[in-house]
Chains A and B, each alone.
Chain A
């Protein structure tokens, strides 16, 4: 099929494309613009930063190095707020890294628990004991603790951070399973394994609640879903809107308390904390809207130009196709 391009078909096509795309673009752009987003880099590379003292922290420093960053929200966040941590220059997509996990171990397979896959090397065993969970991904799990406070007339009120519901349902309920056995005592179930080298605590002590502990700890699950690009953000906590009269986060002063455990300086990494609301189309992304508007406008503009040309010169080409 080969369309025959005439003014009669091309001009309406241009106008229709323009007329459809421009409103779509505007809609998307406005939606994206309504999303509130706030980002703090707390790596602490600059000497002025409060976290600078923690820059060269190591894994096992106890007590953890803590720092506090104060910030001000200019606009209030109306709907539910998502709290992310972001890492830069962290190659979670490196092939050696991505492969370094044992999915059947994470799925609660007892034999894999004690005999993890070869892929986990060199994070497979430690002191002749199998590591649970094994592999580079689990070993490098993000372990900073972030806490948010609202500062109101010099009083710090903590903001409730919800740590459940941040993982995918399928991950939490299908892909990740704790090992099965007699009783629900995770300590007993993980008998014979050892913690990943970099972890301060074994996997069965990640959380106090039993349905968020072990392999089904949601922070762990979120981490295990590797990011595709070296700069990424992962969901950390949720902040729910209390009631419909009050915004979730009012404009004002806040402070972020950080237990700085995770070293990124050695590979030039950055750490961020992001607060964001979402809309029906996800997070803040003005690009799509702008692209729609641009294409629509170009089409509309070309339509106008072509219409002009057609109107002015169009009726000439019927008469003179045999140049002398």
Chain B
């Protein structure tokens, strides 16, 4: 295999722990960790020392420990007990809390490590605890079970050697993914057969990238040369994923325990500290200075006062012999320490505990808020960290995801446009679907005969060109549920758009029934079942941005239906009413609808066999399979006849516009970071009032950069913004300012990466600075075409900018996790794209609209409460200590 030599490190796995036949390769047993997952921090033995160490790393605890030790050593005004006891209490309470949490983790670990796993030993099925699993074991997993470790997929109960998997808990995608068994082993269907397999696997050492895997399997048949097969990520079943729609599979364990990709990806959430805590620490330092200076002043004054002997040692108050002999400087130093001890309560020992208690109890106020309870999913807000409550009230920047956050991610088929005629299922009124209406409303006059034909073709195309699966039971298992319950069939697909389309077509009279024996069945308007033989599927990918199917109708015609984004379809069309449809598509895009174009082409038998041959060649290629397939697709998917376009609406969440408006009024800057395309995203921004009519849009997109250089564009924009700023200040001075012009910036991922790229020549300033400057002067910023990592990059850029603003990121999908973790406060929406975001966030809320109350009510109150508490604490301690300080003047600075 190519690139094999470049593997830095590889491991060899002997499937079923069988030695390879002699002469092939030396049998080197390697040692791998077992399948134990350890997330706990302490063991029974190291708990006390380790925990104490961790606790005394906290500055306040350490301080009190020092005070305590000083009290033990020298003669001080207060006894060691008075400061030892509170310290002991604080330490014990914290230790108990942490010990309890760790115990829970131990329990969770044990539950995982001990759950039974079936695996094969000497041709028989054995149940064992998960933690005893070793690399090289052959494991059997049945439906709805989670994979206990990273497996190479050997065979499945499905004949074609595939299985379906959801990786919801790994990357948040709830869709079903197809994995493929190794070609040579997919025929083994029972324990004995699989046990007879004699193979070794070579693969790279574990690495955290979920989607990358390189390996090779050598299958030994009797006496023959081993057959080598490449292994890719489509053969690798990851721990944490769940098997779906497949009865059982066999696989061989290659990465176990802490080496699985899930464990490697498990990053402990870095502790987020709130700004109040930071300023509290500053206070502490200031108070420490006050304390030291007080002690110093008192020591100096003491010796000044004592310089007269009748004061130092009046007849009624003689010193003892050792006291008289003591070195003056040592004496002064112990006096200083004694003063420190006397005034040590100026630093409140109980503050940390009290503040933590306050936050902990306070966090329930959010969870108890009934206005933030969502009836649809029956859940209220969740608070994952209580440390950041008060940060909610100080947010300056909000970074929000679009899909699923601002919008519902609940696709709704809105209209279709066939040959320029617009069809709207009139059942949609005010977003409510009336299930009993199935007619369509034709906005244009009824099309003629040829139109009718095209129309039917169009509907069939939509019915056939998808990868939707039908699940024939109506139990809800967290997946997309059909909007049409009476049909009791659920469409499952990796893309919600497809589901929306199929459902929309269903309302227009064509129902997709099922895929049976490679035949797709649809129920047409006359309630007749039409059967099409499914010949090929060219699956969707984000580079081509289209998908195609080749089907053979019952009459023997072979059709190629293609569905894809307008930009990828139009250049491949040779016939059809392109102009009309294009204008319609553009109008829809501006309205914030997701558009797809549908085209078809008729193939003759000869053409088809040609296609088949090309495909076969490409699929069998071992190297660059992807690339070759793409080339073939390119060759086939052309000369289409355009049928029409569809529009699917991603509806805004309720009150999203309201919320954004309120947040903007509160002086919070709202940025939208989305992976969607610019037009759609901009339309959504208009719809949710992020951009208003009078907002002047500044564009910083690839297109514009192509025209001018990045440099010029940036400087131009900067100038515009600065000029605006200048005039603004003048306006406010003259008192004539009317409605100020505000700016909205649109930037796409490509240009962003250009800006973020460190410049080597260093010719002209820093683009980042200019970019930041522009952003700061815009009321709203929309970043589209963003990769998850870029989202985090933006958040980081703002977070580390000069003013150190406090940022909040809100999102619902796995692609938002990085930005949620990066921002000061991360909020997850308990949404449809899995719970990944909610789990990684600090707070989770059911709907975007709840953000308003969360920030403007709860956050504000928390901030007031915590600042009052902290300030009161310091005030209290000053009140407590200052009289002590003054009293020293009346008791001869004797630390009384």
Contact = CB atoms under 8 A, between A and B. Distances in A.
Interface stretch (A3-11, A12-20, A94-102, A249-257): A94-102
Contacts of B311: 91, 267
B551 to A, nearest CB: 71
Given A136-B318, A139-B316, A230-B890, A95 B310 contact: no
B892 A122 contact: no
Nearest to B316: A140
B22 interface: no
B891 interface: yes
A283 B892 CA distance: 27
Contact of A97 (B310, B316, B320): B316
Interface string B295-328: 0000000000000001100111111110000000
Nearest to A265: B310
Contacts of B439: none
Given A95-B891, A95-B895, A230-B890, A136 B316 contact: yes
A268 interface: yes
A263 to B, nearest CB: 7
Contacts of A93: 890-892, 894, 896
B667 interface: no
Given A91-B891, A229-B890, A96 B310 contact: no
A144 interface: no
Majority-rule SS of A interface residues: loop
A94 B320 contact: no
Nearest to A124: B320
B318 A267 contact: no
Contact of B894 (A94, A136, A229): A94
B892 A230 contact: yes
Contact of B315 (A91, A228, A266): A266
A228 B896 CA distance: 10
Nearest to B890: A229
A267 B894 contact: no
Nearest to A231: B890
Interface string B510-550: 00000000000000000000000000000000000000000
A94, A139, A140, A266: which has the most chain B beta carbons within 10 Å? A94
A121 interface: yes
Contacts of B315: 140, 198, 263, 266-267
A267 B321 CA distance: 21
B77 interface: yes
Nearest to A262: B316
A141 to B, nearest CB: 9
A228 B887 CA distance: 9
Nearest to B342: A95
A95 B895 CA distance: 6
A103 B317 CA distance: 18
B711 to A, nearest CB: 46
B319 A122 contact: yes
Contacts of A90: 316
Interface string B875-896: 0000000000000001110111
Nearest to A97: B317
A229 B892 CA distance: 10
Contacts of B317: 91, 94, 96-97, 100, 136, 140
Contacts, number: 58
B890 A94 contact: no
Interface string B165-197: 000000000000000000000000000000000
Interface residues of A, number: 23
Interface in A195-234: 198, 228-230
A95 B314 contact: no
A94 B318 contact: no
A267 B314 contact: yes
A122 B894 contact: no
Contact of B318 (A91, A122, A268): A122
A26 B353 CA distance: 47
A91 B894 contact: yes
Contacts of A123: 318
Interface residues of B, number: 17
Contact of A94 (B310, B321, B891): B891
Interface in A153-187: none
A121 B77 CA distance: 17
A229 B318 CA distance: 19
Contacts of A121: 320
A98 B892 CA distance: 12
Contact of A268 (B310, B316, B890, B895): B310
Contacts of B895: 95
A266 B892 contact: no
Given A230-B890, A230-B891, A98 B316 contact: no
A231 to B, nearest CB: 9
Interface in B34-84: 77
Contact of B896 (A94, A122, A267): A94
A193 B891 CA distance: 32
A130 B315 CA distance: 20
Nearest to B310: A267
Contacts of B891: 91, 93-95, 230
Contacts of B77: 95
Contacts of A228: 890
Nearest to A91: B892
Nearest to B77: A95
Interface in A89-134: 90-91, 93-98, 100, 121-123
A79 B316 CA distance: 36
A266 B311 CA distance: 9
A175 to B, nearest CB: 20
A122 B310 CA distance: 17
A98 B896 contact: yes
A58 to B, nearest CB: 10
B319 A96 contact: yes
B545 to A, nearest CB: 55
Interface in B840-896: 890-892, 894-896
B896 A95 contact: yes
Nearest to A226: B896
B889 to A, nearest CB: 10
A228 B320 CA distance: 23
Interface in A252-299: 263, 266-268
B718 to A, nearest CB: 35
Contacts of A91: 311, 314, 317, 891-892, 894
A209 to B, nearest CB: 27
A107 B891 CA distance: 27
A136 B317 CA distance: 6
Interface string B352-392: 00000000000000000000000000000000000000000
Interface in B397-425: none
Contacts of A97: 316-317, 894
Contact of A266 (B310, B319, B890, B896): B310
A135 B77 CA distance: 18
B305 to A, nearest CB: 10
B299 to A, nearest CB: 14
Contacts of A198: 315
A94 B896 CA distance: 6
Nearest to A90: B316
Nearest to B314: A267
A122 B890 contact: no
Nearest to B323: A96
Nearest to A121: B320
A140 B317 CA distance: 8
17 contacts: A90-B316, A93-B890, A93-B896, A94-B892, A94-B896, A95-B891, A95-B894, A97-B316, A122-B318, A122-B319, A122-B320, A136-B318, A139-B316, A198-B315, A229-B890, A266-B314, A267-B315
Given A95-B895, A267-B315, 7 more contacts: A90-B316, A91-B311, A91-B894, A94-B896, A95-B894, A97-B316, A136-B318
Interface of A: 90-91, 93-98, 100, 121-123, 136, 139-140, 198, 228-230, 263, 266-268
Nearest 4 A-B pairs (CB), nearest first? A140-B316, A95-B894, A93-B891, A95-B896
